[in-house]
Structure 1
Amino acid sequence: MITSSPTSYRWPHRLALLSAVVTFPLIWVGGLVTSYDAGMAVPDWPGTYGYNLFAYPWTTWFFGPWDIFVEHGHRLLGAAIGLLMIALVATTFAVRAPRWLIQFAFFLLALVILQGILGGARVNLDERLIALLHGCTGPVFFVSLVAFAVVTSPRFPLSRPLESQSTEDRQPANRLATAAWGFAAVCYLQLVLGALVRHVPVTSTAGFFRAVMLLHIVLAVMILAQALLLGVTIIRAKQGNSVSRWVGWSLLLVVTVQIGLGIMTYVSKYAWPEWMGSFQFAAAHVTREKSVLQALLATAHVANGSLILAAAVIMSLQASRVWRPAAVIASSAPFLLVRTSA
């Protein structure tokens, strides 16, 4: 059984961190592509106007129209992530990592390839459903990278075996880990609903859109309540708690910011609610479609949602350190048959 992250995992850990740092701006740029409807600015794929992706003249890209700048930049960042994933797989092999970690690295590589194919299909087929899937897969890849970085960190030793813990020690850990993974699942469902709001089918009715938006708002309230409960529990826990206090503070921060961004995004996109029409500031509000402020707020709301999911996964993995080690690995590398032996 793995009892710690060996020092030899240093380079896979660093590559995963670097990849996560590069992927977060990719989420931002992808959000801008949607906000400005720039997904079809470049009509061909995998090339760019007949050029190889990397051979497209940088002056034409950098000083060209904004929508081409955003779309081609999104492709370049995606290609860079793909190269980093190849390097991650090679490095994981080089350090003779255990089988589950090699499988995890291959899972990340397969996921980024899938994301690239979905992006290309979006261009070639111009389907909103593909755009929706593309928007839902991106956060999965990002948080999987974060999970890989967490489980390869030297500061992430798996705890003593479950059998050696008393019932009194196991019960609080089990409750926290279960609540944390449940919270992460709700956060991802919220991201899917947000993607559906941004990529609502053109054939849908106004009632369908209102229902999705209402459910999105209801889940936001639930997530806020869950985050407050989990965050305060972690922060007030006794010394030696399995989840770091900075994770609790980070969770409270990103969820609070998300609520503010959600309100501002709604106002900039759809104006103030009708019942506030008696207020002068609400009555005088003018919605400016595709404005810079609207695009930045919507994109920040999308990107910060991925940060919430990342914080939830970190919290879940740390809570699982005193739960079941096998559950940590299985939760970190879904859809794979993994083994906890080295």
Structure 2
Amino acid sequence: MATQSAKVRDSQVSAEKLPAGLRWTRWVAWVLCVLTFPLLWIGGLVTTTKSGMAVPDWPGTYGYNMFLYPLSTWWSGPWDLFVEHGHRLLATIIGLLSLLIAGLLWKYDSRSWMRWAGIVTVIGVIAQGALGGFRVLLDDRILAMIHGCVGPLFFALTAALVVWTSRSWNELELPENSPLAGRLFGIARLTCVLVYLQMIVGALIRHMPVTFVTTAFTHATRVHVVLAGLVTVLVLRMAWLATRAEFPKFLRRSGWVLNFAMLFQLLLGLATWILKYGTPLWLRGILPMSPEAVLADGWWQSHVVTAHQATGALLLGTTTIVLLLSWRMAPGVANENAPHSLRWNEPTARLEQGATTR
């Protein structure tokens, strides 16, 4: 019965026609979120390959306007230049998309808080760009770490924009006062905090100077491993709840993404350790010693470590989606927060009314 009702809700929503402005808003939110993820990946690769100072000036590139830098020089130049300049170009596209989504929200979205969410998005992307720029101008490791920690937060914000402009948030006939949604919300809230805390500890490990005492690295690594265990249990539990049939399709799919992303992240974490520090003692009877561990910043090492960092951001973004949708359906929220929901026919009705008046 629950499965049938969920299918009915999904089919009813898919049959509705959105006004053109809101369709554009929703698609731009998706594009912004999807492009932000590879930006995080490339940014992680900049850190892993120590390419952050490949271009020592900012906002230009070796005296050129960033957009006028010769394509042949960029494409055929050194790897670190290719990565760093590409990171800047993609970040600029993200900035332009942030301006576009803010403008679309201000024009077409009737919810005042969503208009402010668009403004926060613009402020966030400007702040992140400034952090990256001053990290280059000052060649500061601490700013590089802060820059790396703010990036996943911005990605989580873009995931939230996807949710807030989605049909699942605005038009689905959500389960009323679902106790299961309340449980899911409680787990998701804790998981979001721990996933981000785990990313901060990981950034500390990645940016820790070699001059630090060895005990600092040891303690940070132990905290990272303990948090990984807690996050794994919470994410898998949350994913199991999110895939229940009574929830909307968007939430169910997010649960499946969490399942696969968490399992992939565990494999990446183990591979990261083997490639950087060698095979752990408890695995040496099963796996051979890794030759990559003696080659600092080798190809496999750089890309696996970067994938581990990027998948952590994916977990944070997907957990944010589950958090918001479960809150939307939690007891005391679904029926009491009508201002949070946008009825698609409101802008159309206002336009039609204006046309009739004229």
Structure 2 length-normalised TM: 0.83
1:194 to 186, 198, 202: 202
Whether the 8 Å contact between 2:262 and 2:315 is mirrored in structure 1 is yes
Q: Which stretch shifts more, 306-315 or 224-233? A: 224-233
1:299 corresponds to 2:306 = yes
- Pick aligned residue for 1:61 from 65, 69, 74: 74
**What residue identity is the alignment partner of 1:23?**
T
Q: 1:250: how far off? A: 1.2
Alignment counterpart, residue 278 of structure 2, candidates 271, 274, 289: 271
- Superposition map of 1:30-69 within 5 A: 30-69=43-82
Which of 157, 160, 179 in structure 1 is aligned with 2:170? 157
Normalising by structure 1, we get a TM-score of: 0.87
Which residue of structure 2 lines up, in the alignment, with residue 204 of structure 1?
212
Q: 1:74 to 1:326 in 2, by over 3 A?
A: farther
CA deviation profile, 1:60-107 (whole Å, cap 9, x unmatched): 111111110101111111111111111111112221432111100111
Deviations 1:228-256 (A, max 9, x none): 22222333x35346973222221110000
Change (3 A) 1:108 1:275: same
What is the aligned residue count? 324
2:307 corresponds to which letter in structure 1? A
| Runs of 5+ consecutive residues of structure 2 not aligned to the other structure | 1-12, 343-358
Q: Among 268, 280, 284, which residue is 1:261 paired with?
A: 268
Give the structure 2 partner of residue 125 of structure 1: 138
Corresponding letter in the other structure for 1:287: V
Letter in structure 2 aligned against 1:200: M
What amino acid is the match of 2:319?
A
User: What do you get for the CA RMSD once the two structures are aligned?
Assistant: 2.7
Deviation at 1:320, TM superposition (A): 1.2
Separation in 1 of the partners of 2:92 and 2:295?
Answer: 34
The unaligned stretches of length 5 or more in structure 1 are: 330-338
Is the 2:292–2:300 contact (alpha carbons within 8 Å) kept by the matching residues of 1?
no
**Are the aligned partners of 1:231 and 1:249 in contact in 2 as well (CA < 8 Å)?**
yes
Distance verdict in 2 for CA 1:283–1:19, change over 3 Å = closer
- Determine the structure 1 residue equivalent to 2:7: none
* Matched-pair contact (CA < 8 Å) for 2:152–2:313: yes
1:235-250 paired onto structure 2 within 5 Å:
235=243, 237-240=244-247, 244-250=251-257
- Residues 12 and 340 (structure 1), Cα distance of their counterparts in 2 relative to 1, 3 Å cut: same
Secondary structure in 2 matching 1:244: helix
1:227 alignment counterpart: 235
Aligned partner letter, 1:18: V
Identity in percent: 37
Range moving further from structure 2, 318-327 or 244-253: 318-327
Give the 3 Å change call, closer, same or farther, for CA 328–53 of structure 1 in structure 2: farther
The one-letter amino acid paired with 1:38 is S
